[in-house]
Structure 1
Amino acid sequence: MNTNREYNNPLIEQRADPWVYLHTDGYYYFTASVPEYDRIEVRRAATIEGLAEAEPVVAWRKYDSGPLSANIWAPEIHYIHGKWYIYFAAARTTETNEGLFDHRMYVLENESANPLEGTWVEKGQVKTAWESFALDATTFQHNGVLYYVWAQKDPEIPGNSNLYISEMSNPWTLTGRQTMIARPEHQWEIVGFSVNEGAAVLKRNGRIFISYSGSATDYNYCMGLLAADENSDLLDAVSWTKLPGPVFKTNEENGQYGPGHNSFTVNKEGEDVLIYHARGYKEITGDPLYDPNRHTRAQVFHWNEDGTPDFGVPVKDALKK
């Protein structure tokens, strides 16, 4: 029988696109989009629950103008080759739309043992095959190779963003093939916007899984799943299989709307934990991107007999004491 640790959700209010990383020092590191989209914060705690009260430290702030001056979205913190890296997307300020959908991907580096200290150095833009809307990068290592997975608009393909994978020669430079491994094709991925974005990697049971999110960022937002054999050529699109239906979606009975843009971690009991954002209401006034109430949530998930993850449904919010 599975024993579930239950979390006091929402774990952290008004933090969308949440990323939690458990480091070898025993701390959980957290970063996410802030409602103002103007800075990158990092916090840490000895437990997942402790992140709720942990003091955030500002790692970086946007510029007043230029390509790093608007809509700082979806930062992720990674530890690679003995240094800390933050991957994020940023746009440029314009008179009409404040840089919306003009995003490019960037990297920060910190050599300190504790990334809440030291200096974050800009390593520049991650260059891809096109100069087009690009965001939501993540990295993972497999068989000694560093991979980069991201969402981008191919000017030749209708829709807003597809998912791509490439090898990296260092934590801020792509090398070799850049392969599209998913594009919005099912009805549940194309409501409002045709989107595959927000990738997160999960390695288990001889396979590499990539979760991602689709559709607009309102109650239609939901999660899908890709899978590849761990021994396959990860740069070959044929290696990746997309599940036909969403694996995590709005649950009106539990009052959870638009769950997505997740990350994965493990709690101190050794249970697998899904970290995601969702809203507690369905109807939104104005642009969903400027509704601040996508809250960070956490819940334990399990595994099916066929070796695939079973995320269940978004759980109800706990009653705050």
Structure 2
Amino acid sequence: MKGVYLLPLYLLLSMTGLCQQLKPDTAATFTNPLLQSGPDPWVIQEGGIYYYMATTGHNITLRKTKAMSALAAAPAIVVWTPPAKGPNARDIWAPELHRLDGKWYLYYTAGSSDSIHPQHTFVLENTAADPTTGTWTDKGQIRDTAANDFAIDGTVFSYKGQRYFIWSGHNGKDNVQRLYIARMKNPWTLASGRVEIAAPRYPWEKNGINEGPEILVNKQQDVFLVFSVCGCWTDDYALGLMRLKKNADPMVAANWTKMPEPILKGKPENGAFSPGHNGFFKSVNGKEDWIIYHANSRAKQGCGGQRNPRMQRLTWDAGGLPVIGEPVKIGEPQRKPAGE
């Protein structure tokens, strides 16, 4: 009689073991979105710490964490509040943190309190080792001396010993948002006039917008520029890709090639509408490339605080081009970045 019961017990134990093997290891996974809100996310890694920020509209906050998958557990620390009046008093957008020349620099977009002048890009400096501490000194507006047009989404790019500033702006003649580049004299001053390197040209670049430029470099030191298109108020917001000719001068527009198709676009069935305005970072062990971007979870949510930050791993094809794929479905377990 014992043998009659042993067989079912054996099968039960075997099936239990199999179920345990098939069950996802929740300790090794995470799900998007990382936070309920976080437009224009940006991440920088320094000294084993990730610093994250996003658009709040009224101040600049930082979160710091050793694991990006645990971002929600990191408290938001307000590091800068705009003055009540002046050229940088309102509409604080798209902050980016950079470690340059042994100091921290925060680049952000802001508008004037007079509500007349358009958005421009400004710089803050901090000498503290930890950017959530210390004092942020206003270094003023960073601008091309020949123009003071609408200018947003500034980022810094170092290449072959020269530092460059890349941003989205107007040319003073129309409202088309173009991408510009200029050489930098120091972290808050441009050393050259601007050069236009991109303007909308394909059908998927609707509404005359190229914005949110971000640099991505592969192992072969090929340089790419990822940018956002269409306007955040639409469900067609997406990411485009440009490639710099090998060892070429980035100040020459002809050295940049724009790819004919977007590299990331929305996928409604995955709860991903208007994905864009991204950043890039490495996994803890430095072996994986990851993208962080915002998206809306439902249609027609526009440019508000419902845009939430998401991250997923990117890979590279045989030709060295970045491959992001489609937005990972919200709530779907993903393996954490290697080393977490």
Q: What is the TM-score of this pair, normalised by structure 2?
A: 0.85
| Secondary structure in structure 1 of the residue aligned to 2:242 | strand
> What CA distance in whole angstroms lies between the structure 1 residues aligned with 2:85 and 2:162?
36
Partner of 1:126: 142
Runs of 4+ in structure 1 over 3 Å off: none
Question: Is 1:27 the counterpart of 2:49 in the alignment?
Answer: yes
Equivalent AA in structure 2 for residue 60 of structure 1? W
Distance 1:6 1:181 in 2: 39
Worse-matched range after superposition: 263-272 or 300-309: 263-272
2:290 is paired with a residue whose SS is: strand
Name the residue aligned to 2:315.
Answer: 302
Match of 2:171 in 1: 154
1:319: Cα distance to partner? 6.4
Structure 1 range deviating more: 250-259 or 263-272: 263-272
Is the contact between residue 159 and residue 184 of structure 1 (CA under 8 Å) also seen in structure 2? no
**1:10-39 alpha-carbon deviations (Å, 9 max, x no partner):** 01221100000011x1100111101xx110
Mapping of residues 45-56 of structure 1, within 5 Å: 45-56=65-76
Aligned counterparts of 1:234 and 1:274: Cα–Cα separation in 2: 23
CA contact (8 A) 1:260 1:277 kept: yes
Equivalent runs, 1:136-151 vs 2, <5 Å: 136-151=153-168
Cα deviations by residue, 1:216-248 (Å, 9 ceiling, x for unpaired): 203110000110134101110011000011110
TM-score normalized by structure 1? 0.90
Question: 1:108 maps to which residue?
Answer: 124
Residue 176 of structure 1 aligns to a residue whose secondary structure is coil
Q: 2-side partners of 1:45 and 1:178: how far apart?
A: 36
Identical positions, percent: 36
Shift of 1:91: 0.5
The count of residues paired between Structure 1 and Structure 2 equals 302
Contact 1:42–1:58, Cα closer than 8 Å, also in 2: yes
Unmatched segments (≥5 aa) in structure 1: none
Residue number in structure 1 paired with 2:278: 262
**Which residue matches 1:181?**
197
User: Amino acid of the residue matched to residue 99 of structure 2?
Assistant: Y
Aligned to 1:215: 230
How far apart in 2 are the matches of 1:48 and 1:211? 21
* Letter aligned with residue 203 of structure 1: V
| Aligned residue number for residue 83 of structure 1 | 103
SS of 2:192's equivalent?
strand
Structure 1 match to 2:38:
15
Which residue does 2:210 correspond to in 1? 196
SS in 2 for 1:33: coil
2:91 to 68, 71, 76: 71
- Give the Å deviation of 1:153: 0.5
Report the Cα offset of residue 283 of structure 1. Answer: 2.4
Aligned to 1:225: 241
Whether the 8 Å contact between 1:135 and 1:151 is mirrored in structure 2 is yes
**Structure-1 separation of matches of 2:150 and 2:39:** 20
Contact 1:181 1:240 in 2 (8 A): yes
Per-residue CA distance 1:93-132 (angstroms, 9 max, x = gap): 34xxx56x81011000000001111000000000213111
Task: Tell me if the contact between 1:6 and 1:299 (Cα under 8 Å) persists in the aligned partners.
Answer: no
- 2:201 and 2:170 map into 1 onto residues whose CA distance is 14
SS at match of 1:50: helix
Matches within 5 A, 1:165-176: 165-176=181-192
Identify, as 1 or 2, the structure richer in strand. 1
2:318 maps to a residue whose letter is E
Greater percentage in helix: 2
Q: Which amino acid aligns with 2:211?
A: E
RMSD of aligned alpha carbons: 1.6
- Contact 1:199/1:211 (8 A) holds in 2: yes
